[in-house]
Every structure is written in structure tokens, then in C-alpha cells.
């Protein structure tokens, strides 16, 4: 890693910002403000909401933003594949966030269907970022299927509960040789910061920003928190002193050199 210039590379594209914005919950005219104040370089786009009547969200996206169309609304791999192809036809580029949800109560992702969709779309040349429940085995299969990054949830989507899946996300950071992007559940900048300290590559947030009293200021707060967490990770966190009782008899007293 080049510490002078800390670059996040996904699908061959370079990003300096590690704050990915979910765009589904803003009024369209706020989009540009949030992107500017959050220093955002990649934003999701729910295709099902891309064109609501007269307004088109694409008209509100600033130049240079990488669009990450998602397949929200898909309940199966097949539906996700269809939405992804449609997004590409509409000129949204090759990036796609796969989101397959067939549970309307908790809105938890279906890892098995997501793996299938990842495999199909990666073969078609998409840069696939699967949204997933942080399960190591599923993440490995997504990596094998050609995912460009993996997006585990921190907590149920929209819950603002933070990093409930902390220990499992940490396992993905350690084991999966792809950028890990925490998606869903992050409710506060401090939680985004904590995720970054753990070594995740980026954080995605939407509800937390969209439901703030001052949306622009909250976007700026997330930007700072994510940068702080990233810097802490790069700097190497200090040791936590463990106040364990000293062993009464030494463990290494038997050595004869």
C-alpha cells in the first residue's frame, strides 16, 4: 500500500474517498450537497427508483461520480441479473451492487442467490459488489465467483444500530482478499470510524445521513469519521494493555540452553 497516496481500487477504478453513499433516501435536490460535503466518489442508485415520474436521479448526480446501480427489489438471482443488465443498457456503467432480498420483515440478504447472481454477472464483465450477510463461507464463494469487493451488513438495513456483526466482519477482513465494504446498519459517524479502524476498505451509509436534521453537515461528519478511522488503521492501533495476573510460576523456566 502506498501510504503517501492511499488509494482504494475496485474493478480497476481508483478512489480516494472511502465513503460510499446510498442515494435511495434523499430528496433528489439534496443529492449534490451530500455528495459534495461527504467527498463522495461512488454512489448507489436504486434502478427501481431511478426514474420516478418526471425527475431522473441521473440528472442530479455530479460529474465524475461512479454510479453503483443496485438490484434492490430483486428476490432471486435471475431478477438481480435482469436488473443489472438493464442498468448497463441504461448507461449506468459496469459496476453493480447485487442485492437479493426475499424477506420483507427483516430485509436480510439471501447469500445463496447472491452467489449465483455474482457468478453470472462477473462472467458478463460486470464489476460485481455483492451485498451480503457476513458469512465467511459465502464470502469465499462470492470471491471465487468473481466479486470485485464484498459488502457485508453491519446491522439490519436502515436500523442505524451500528456494527452488530463486528466480529464476523473482522473475519472477512482477515480472510477475504478483496475490499470489504460495510454496508447497512451504520447509524453514526463513530460507527463508521470503528469499522474503518478494523481495516474495512470503505463504508456505505444512507439512512444515517438522510435522516439527520442537517443532511449536509452529517455527510461532512461521516467524511471526517471515515478518514479518521482509515488513518488510525494505517497508523496501527496501539496495544491494549491486558491486566492479566502474572503466571505464578514461569512457563519457560524449563529451558536448558
Partner 1 sequence: MELQENVLQHTAAYDYDAFTARDVHAALSKDALDVQDFGALLSPAALPLLETIARRAQADTRRYFGNSVTLYTPLYISNYCDNYCTYCGFNCGNDIKRGKLTLDEIERELRAIANTGLEEILLLTGESREKSGVAYIGEAVEAARKHFRTIGLEVYPLNVDEYAYLHERGADFVSIYQETYDRTLYSACHPHNSPKSDFAYRFAGQERAILGGMRGVSFGALLGLGNFRKDAFAAGVHACKLQRKYPHAEISFSVPRIRAAHNKSASELIANAVSESELLQVLLAYRVFLPFASINISTRERAGFRDNVIGLVANKISSGVKVTVGGHDDEQKGDPQFSIYDERDVKTIHSAILDRRLQPVYNDYIFS
Q: Which residues are catalytic?
A: 97
- Minimum Å distance from CB 197 to partner 1? 13
Q: What is the DSSP letter of 26?
A: S
Decide if residue 248 touches partner 1 (CB under 8 A).
Answer: no
Decide if residue 249 touches partner 1 (CB under 8 A).
Answer: no
Q: HSE (CB half, 13 Å, CA atoms) of 115?
A: 14
Decide if residue 255 touches partner 1 (CB under 8 A).
Answer: yes
Decide if residue 3 touches partner 1 (CB under 8 A).
Answer: no
Alpha helices of 145-257 — where are they, by DSSP H?
A: 166-175, 189-197, 207-210, 215-235
Site string for partner 1, 49-78 (x = CB under 8 A): ------------------------------
CB 177 within 8 A of CB 155: no
Report how far apart, in Å, the C-alpha atoms of 60 and of each of 142, 157, 181 are: 32, 24, 25
Q: Which of 2, 54, 104, 252 binds partner 1 (CB under 8 A)?
A: 252
Q: Which three cell numbers stand for residue 6?
A: 492511499
Phi, psi of 150 (to 5 degrees): -125, 140
Phi, psi of 132 (to 5 degrees): -150, 160
Site string for partner 1, 211-240 (x = CB under 8 A): -------------------------xxxxx
In this complex, which beta carbon is closest to partner 1, that of residue 82 or of residue 140? 140
In this complex, which beta carbon is closest to partner 1, that of residue 14 or of residue 167? 167
CB 143 within 8 A of CB 178: yes
Decide if residue 4 touches partner 1 (CB under 8 A).
Answer: no
Q: Specify the DSSP element, H or E, that contains 100.
A: none
Q: Which of 76, 45, 80, 34 is nearest to 208 (CA)?
A: 34
Decide if residue 48 touches partner 1 (CB under 8 A).
Answer: no
CB 180 within 8 A of CB 150: yes
CA torsion sign for 88, 90, 93, 96 is negative
Q: Which of residues 106-145 bind partner 1 (CB under 8 A)?
A: 140
- Minimum Å distance from CB 2 to partner 1? 17
Q: Which of residues 152-181 bind partner 1 (CB under 8 A)?
A: 170, 174-175
Q: Which of 12, 54, 247, 248 binds partner 1 (CB under 8 A)?
A: 247
- Minimum Å distance from CB 208 to partner 1? 27
Which residues of this protein are in contact with partner 1, per CB under 8 A?
Answer: 140, 170, 174-175, 236-240, 244, 247, 250-252, 254-257
Amino acid at each position: 500500500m502506498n501510504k503517501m497516496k492511499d488509494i482504494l481500487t475496485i474493478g480497476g477504478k481508483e478512489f480516494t474517498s472511502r465513503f460510499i453513499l446510498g442515494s435511495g433516501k434523499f430528496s433528489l435536490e439534496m443529492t449534490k450537497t451530500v455528495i459534495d460535503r461527504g467527498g463522495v466518489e461512488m454512489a448507489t442508485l436504486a434502478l427501481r427508483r431511478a426514474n420516478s415520474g418526471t425527475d431522473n436521479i441521473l440528472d442530479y448526480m455530479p460529474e465524475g461520480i461512479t454510479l453503483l446501480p443496485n438490484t434492490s427489489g430483486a428476490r432471486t438471482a435471475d431478477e438481480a441479473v435482469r436488473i443489472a443488465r438493464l442498468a448497463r443498457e441504461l448507461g449506468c456503467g459496469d459496476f453493480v451492487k447485487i442485492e437479493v432480498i426475499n424477506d420483507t420483515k427483516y430485509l436480510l440478504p439471501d447469500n445463496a442467490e447472491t452467489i449465483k447472481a455474482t457468478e453470472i454477472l462477473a462472467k458478463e464483465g460486470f464489476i460485481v459488489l455483492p451485498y451480503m450477510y457476513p458469512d465467511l463461507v459465502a464470502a469465499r464463494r462470492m470471491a471465487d465467483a468473481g466479486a470485485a469487493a464484498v459488502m457485508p451488513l453491519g446491522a439490519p438495513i436502515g436500523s442505524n444500530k451500528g456494527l452488530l456483526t463486528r466480529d464476523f466482519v473482522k473475519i472477512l477482513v482477515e480472510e477475504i482478499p478483496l475490499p470489504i465494504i460495510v454496508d447497512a446498519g451504520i447509524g453514526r459517524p463513530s460507527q463508521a470510524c470503528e469499522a474503518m479502524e478494523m481495516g474495512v476498505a470503505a463504508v456505505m451509509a444512507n439512512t444515517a445521513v438522510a435522516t439527520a436534521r442537517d443532511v449536509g453537515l452529517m455527510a461532512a461528519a461521516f467524511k471526517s469519521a471515515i478518514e479518521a478511522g482509515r488513518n488510525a488503521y494505517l497508523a496501527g492501533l496501539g496495544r491494549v494493555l491486558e491486566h492479566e495476573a502474572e503466571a505464578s510460576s514461569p512457563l519457560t523456566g524449563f529451558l536448558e540452553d
